[in-house]
Amino acid sequence: MTDTDPLARFGVVPLFSLTSSDLTDGQPLATAQYGAGSGGEDRSPELSWSGFPAATKSFALTAYDPDAPTGSGFWHWAVFNIPVSVTALAAGAGSPRSRLLPAEATTLPNETRQSSFVGAGPPEGTGVHRYQFIVHAVDVPRLRIDPESTPAVLGFNLHFHTLARAVLTGTGEFSPRRGR
């Protein structure tokens, strides 16, 4: 787990632990976590979390690239209403065909308008990108958000309902060896 919180500027909350068998904090993403158009598999990493506050009622998960050359970053994945009993997601849970997310969870459309995980695809010449996987401990069992909303709307709601968060950051950059 990283000791920094990329969302602290919106209000400091305690941090808890987020680990992955597919991703090491601060290290490059595996090829599987890249998008299909970049030689990858669009496969979300395995994620496990612990140490969240006892008052947690549900979780939300976001995957975001703040370094995308857009002026607003790039949302790769946004899921909310993950039951408090769920403290891990298997690799590939971001694929709607996988059925690995709990039935209560809602996946919002990402930047490509797909309700799934979309892998990294940093454009040539844009340097190293950070891919922030963040699990938010939420103070209500269900956030009432339109399932067609954007991840930014989820972020707005999380601002008011996050008790704590856990952050795991992978890195990635364009590589002609992976394909494009």
- Which pLDDT tens digit goes with each residue over 144-180? 999 999 999 999 999 999 999 999 999 999 987 765 4
Q: Give the model confidence (pLDDT) of 97-141 as tens digits.
A: 899 999 999 999 999 999 999 999 999 999 999 999 999 999 999
Task: Check residues 2 and 44 and name the one with the higher pLDDT.
Answer: 44
Report pLDDT digits (tens) over 75-95.
Answer: 999 999 999 999 999 999 999
pLDDT of residue 32: 97
Q: Name the pLDDT band for 11 (thresholds 50, 70, 90).
A: confident
- Taking the model in full, what pTM does it have? 0.94
Q: How confident is the model at residue 10 (pLDDT cuts 50, 70, 90)?
A: confident
pLDDT of the residue at 1: 46
Mean pLDDT for 35-45 is 95
**Terminal alpha carbon distance of the chain:** 31
pLDDT over 90 (residue 7): no
